[in-house]
Structure 1
């Protein structure tokens, strides 16, 4: 059957693809679709979480997405793939199987006109982004004249995004029997002193309009209640506006925590990203959609791909606020508009 974009999306939604699931069924479905269209397809990266590169020609735009999702979770009132009114429900409907379905159908339309383009899909964006790092070395990324990443923007056009980092604070002490606490050195108490200053810093930056946010979201310390703990760790979620880096935040923390005993390190960082406001790809998308350019608060694979591709925008169907939540959905009307957008941008960029 010649499926429409909604039916293709439902197929994708019915294949679970969170980090606990084997990706073979999803990869086989998408690779089969692309090869049936006549595209050349390469599979690269970690076999457990492979990345897909498909192409027609060698100098076109790259349509990039991720096929993995967070787990379905609980508290849903709709079934996966259920359609009601203008909405298609399911984990990943917005983030971002909806956009991936649109890319498949855009590829179908572009093949009919023999337009040069690439399609890039990863399967571990929600975890490590190793697929994007593997694709970074492919001819698809090196030769693409531009890129559209289909993360949910409600079909608004984003040209910059915040970086995301996990910064780890550690305090160390000395164990002792809890009945004689003076013989020990309590690492949790030390961490408490740190976090009071971190909280003041977080409240300050979260309110100053700079776009920087700092949150203490994980803390681990102690083994048993009858033992003075000798180790405590706290993990900070940090979102940095362009061009700020995690190291800038670490230096500020060192200054504010001066005089206290602690260790600090950047456990993970996806840097902030910005493409030129004068980008021809950006201008073409804004003209077609009749909207203004925005910044997104989350990190995408753009930060990785931008090492090779300078003209990148982020635009896809679905409301970001629905991502990772129960009853996630995308509107059918947006799916059709997104296919048209991707086809239009590919043609514009192919013309040089």
Structure 2
């Protein structure tokens, strides 16, 4: 009986972390994962896509599909192989360094830990079970950390994820929530990127009363945006708004006639483009500005990728309930339940496939920051949970 061991998990994760793969630059890690599957007698295929409308990017995903001899549920496993860009402040080797039970490196936690876990779970499953019921579709995608979740979005829009019954996204749930491992996220807030443009009238800075200052208008609206009356979801809590950029320039000595605020608005169930637009219009009215303005949501490659929609499940759905029970059994203690506060490919899987989706993965800290690390024992347990769940559901 093939088992998932810590040494093999550590070696695979170290290999993945040692390959630099910031979003838009994933080819080397994609090649490694593709070759790893073939080396272990599993057929992996590249899914190529071209995002023509906004970025012009040509990317690749990897799909591993295992199909049983008999009918049964279709389980989707999802993970991204890209990382954020290398930031300043590292004291450990960003290409991988082990200190006791921690593996440091860019993407070690977010989320090469989860990709390593599903890779090893599939290796164990194929070695131990030649015949099973149903289907497994395991996806390793690009550009999750970059704009629009383009890798997973393209899989959905190209029809590869139709008729999914249950999705497991092995993002580091415990690492993100800060709770002890194991922690299971049963949903996530969504979000939209957008901007507000302000159109004023230029004048000499010595006589600002002769102009209409777009910068001042933008600042007044920013202040009023702090007074949004957010709705509260019983699972996801409240949404939030962050000003991520402000642009305006009056030159050397002029009233600025143009300004722009860039925003990111995290949302909960019941909020959408219409409700966001209405709350901004109310903020503008409270601000009492006199210049014209325009609200524009971020241009997106497709209708489905305009925003990340929030979603929740209860955990009582049959496959979700089985998964939670499997986590408790493998980890020998009850998992905590959480709801994710930010966005990711899980939003697409949880809101667009019509099937329950859980987020479950390793513990660690400093994702998107210096000295990011994952706890190796939690990566091993993640792999063991995924394997045990596949065995329970597909080999009954």
Normalised by the size of structure 2, how large is the TM-score?
A: 0.81
In the alignment, what sits opposite 2:10? 6
How far apart are residue 263 of structure 1 and its match? Answer: 1.8
Aligned with residue 285 of structure 1, among 319, 323, 328 = 323
How far apart are residue 38 of structure 1 and its match? Answer: 2.8
How far apart are residue 41 of structure 1 and its match? Answer: 2.5
Q: Which has the larger displacement, 30-39 or 145-154?
A: 30-39
In the alignment, the residues of structure 1 paired with residue 231 and residue 97 of structure 2 have an alpha-carbon distance, to the nearest angstrom, of 38
How far apart are residue 180 of structure 1 and its match? Answer: 4.0
In the alignment, the residues of structure 1 paired with residue 274 and residue 12 of structure 2 have an alpha-carbon distance, to the nearest angstrom, of 43
Alignment of 1:157-306 (within 5 A): 157-201=184-228, 205=230, 210-222=237-249, 224-258=251-285, 260=289, 261-267=292-298, 269-287=307-325, 288-289=327-328, 290-306=334-350
Residue 50, structure 1, aligned to residue 77, structure 2: no
In the alignment, the residues of structure 1 paired with residue 380 and residue 79 of structure 2 have an alpha-carbon distance, to the nearest angstrom, of 17
Distance 1:246 1:318, change over 3 A: farther
In the alignment, the residues of structure 1 paired with residue 231 and residue 357 of structure 2 have an alpha-carbon distance, to the nearest angstrom, of 28
Q: Is the 8 A contact 1:286 1:293 kept in 2?
A: no
In the alignment, the residues of structure 2 paired with residue 347 and residue 242 of structure 1 have an alpha-carbon distance, to the nearest angstrom, of 34
Q: Is the 8 A contact 1:206 1:214 kept in 2?
A: no
In the alignment, what sits opposite 1:146? 166
In the alignment, what sits opposite 2:84? 70
Gaps of 5+ in 1: none
Gaps of 5+ in 2: 51-56, 175-181, 299-305, 329-333
How far apart are residue 272 of structure 1 and its match? Answer: 0.7
Normalised by the size of structure 1, how large is the TM-score?
A: 0.90
Aligned with residue 316 of structure 1, among 361, 377, 383 = 361
Aligned residues: 347
How far apart are residue 139 of structure 1 and its match? Answer: 5.7
Q: Which has the larger displacement, 137-146 or 250-259?
A: 137-146
How far apart are residue 308 of structure 1 and its match? Answer: 2.1
Aligned with residue 125 of structure 1, among 122, 144, 158 = 144
How far apart are residue 140 of structure 1 and its match? Answer: 4.4
In the alignment, the residues of structure 2 paired with residue 305 and residue 40 of structure 1 have an alpha-carbon distance, to the nearest angstrom, of 23
